[in-house]
Amino acid sequence: MEEIVHFAARSHRNSQALPATGRMIAPYHFPYAPTDLWAALCGLRRPFPEVGTDWFPVFKGLDMEVFPTNRGREGQYALLRALSLPPQARVGVPLLTHPVVWQTVAAAGMKPVFLDADPITFGLNLEDLQKKRDRLNCLILVHSFGYPADFDLIAEIMQGKPILEDCAHTLGSTYRGRPLGSLGDGSFFTFLFSKPLSAGGGGCAATKHRTVARAVRKQLREGAEESVPQGIYHIAETLALALAYKKAFYSIMTRLTHIPVYRRAARKRINYVSPLLHMRRSDWGVVASRARTWNPDSHKNSNFWADVRSHVPDGWHIPAEPQHGDWNHWLLPVRPYSEEASVRSIAQLRSRGVSAGLIYDDSPEAAYPYGYSGDCPQAERLARSVFLLPAHSRLTASERQHILACVRLLREQDKTSSRYRRSPARGEDIATAGL
| Residue 358 falls inside a structural domain | yes
Same domain, 14 and 47: no
| Residue 426 falls inside a structural domain | no
Same domain, 9 and 93: no
User: What's the CATH number where 311 sits?
Assistant: 3.90.1150.10
Question: What is the pLDDT tens value at each position of the chain, 435 positions in all?
Answer: 444 444 444 544 444 333 333 578 878 777 777 888 888 888 888 889 888 777 898 898 888 999 999 999 999 999 999 999 999 999 999 999 999 999 999 999 999 999 999 999 999 999 999 999 999 999 999 999 999 999 999 999 999 999 999 999 999 999 999 999 999 999 999 998 788 888 889 999 999 999 999 999 999 999 888 888 998 988 888 887 777 666 666 665 565 555 555 555 555 556 688 889 999 999 999 999 888 888 776 666 788 999 999 999 999 999 999 999 999 998 999 999 999 999 999 999 999 999 898 989 989 999 999 999 999 999 999 999 999 999 887 888 999 999 999 999 999 888 776 454 444 444 444 322 222
Residue that finishes a domain, picked among 222, 243, 273: 222
Residue that finishes a domain, picked among 222, 256, 283: 222
**In terms of residue numbers, what domain contains 164?**
34-222
Same domain, 216 and 72: yes
Same domain, 86 and 124: yes
| Residue 291 falls inside a structural domain | no
Same domain, 58 and 173: yes
Same domain, 62 and 208: yes
Same domain, 41 and 183: yes
Same domain, 115 and 166: yes
| Residue 364 falls inside a structural domain | yes
Residues in the chain: 435
| Residue 84 falls inside a structural domain | yes
User: What's the CATH number where 152 sits?
Assistant: 3.40.640.10
Same domain, 141 and 38: yes
Q: Given this model, what pLDDT does residue 92 score?
A: 98
Same domain, 207 and 66: yes
Whether the model clears a pTM of 0.85, i.e. scores above it, the answer is yes
Q: How many CB atoms are located within 10 Å of the residue 14 CB?
A: 20
| Residue 265 falls inside a structural domain | no
- The 10s digit of each residue's pLDDT in 123-148 is 999 999 999 999 999 999 999 999 99
Same domain, 92 and 166: yes
Same domain, 356 and 378: yes
| Residue 228 falls inside a structural domain | no
Domain count of the fold of the chain: 2
